[in-house]
Amino acid sequence: MYTLFHHPFCPLSRFIRLALGEHGLDLRLVEERSWERRTAFLALNPAGTTPVLVAEGRPPIPGAGVIVEFLDEVHGVEMGDRRLLPQSTAERIEVRRLLSWFNDKFFEEASGPLMTERIYKRFMSEEDGGGPPAMDVIRAANANVRYHLAYIGWLARTRNFLAGDRMTYADLAAAAHLSAIDYLGDVPWIEDEAAKAWYARIKSRPSFRPLLSEWLAGVPASRTYVDLDF
């Protein structure tokens, strides 16, 4: 049994939830509002960010990148042909490159700012940075979503999955970020049919169902969020 300290709309936490689901691992979720900087949580991860994975008898495993490397080391071989980090060096490099693209670049330019401005700020105190959303930040993030979606579409048109012939952690990471943004209705699916078709494939997987059941009081999900045939 693993325990995941997460926030339901943290894209990085969503990625790890998808990864754990694909591995078929039992999971206990603990919601963490990282901006509150709880002393007990900082003891698990001094950086104060989600996600953090905890397993009995092991040190806390902080950060999405560290967590997926741990999952591959401990559980990868048992996945066989479904291993989410392939065995060849070239394939592993490409998966890790795309993980950096989505979990660093996409997060910094699009999903992170949108979650902060449109969701997290609703629950933050003024001292923690709460208040009305910064519309200039939202506009810039939404513009960035469009070019990231176009890149995903290009990958989907030239490959079976984003990193190659089969599904990897890269697909789960990209889908996790898009799912959080799609909840808000800010993914312009009409602009790229290839990206939309690829996302529909990932979204239909059983590991995705718990994410689609998430909702936020006062912020209804977009029409496309739960619809598998959007």
Beta bridge partners of 3: 28, 54
Q: What are phi and psi of 63, to 5 degrees?
A: 90, 140
> What type of residue sits at position 174?
A
Taking the C-alpha atoms of residue 44 and residue 85, their distance in angstroms, rounded to an integer, is: 26
What is the pTM assigned to this prediction?
0.97
> Which of 72, 126, 62 lies closest to 95, judged by CA?
72
Q: How many CB atoms lie within 10 A of CB 59?
A: 8
Number of structural domains the chain divides into: 1
Characterize the bridge pairing of strands 2-6 and 27-31.
parallel
Whether the Cβ atoms of residue 128 and residue 35 lie closer than 8 Å to each other: yes
Q: Quote the domain boundaries for residue 210.
A: 1-230
CATH number, domain at 39? 1.20.1050.10
Taking the C-alpha atoms of residue 230 and residue 223, their distance in angstroms, rounded to an integer, is: 8
The secondary structure of residue 109, as a DSSP letter, is I
Written as six digits, the tokens of 105 are 């670049």
Residue whose tokens read 């699009």: 110
Task: pLDDT tens for the chain, 230 residues: list them.
Answer: 899 999 999 999 999 999 999 999 999 999 999 999 999 999 999 999 999 999 999 999 999 999 999 999 999 999 999 999 999 999 999 999 999 999 999 999 999 999 999 999 999 999 999 999 999 999 999 999 999 999 999 999 999 999 999 999 999 999 999 999 999 999 999 999 999 999 999 999 999 999 999 999 889 999 999 999 88
In sequence order, which residues have a C-beta less than 8 Å from that of residue 107 and are 6 or more positions away? Answer: 11, 12, 177
> Which of 54, 63, 65, 58 lies closest to 27, judged by CA?
54
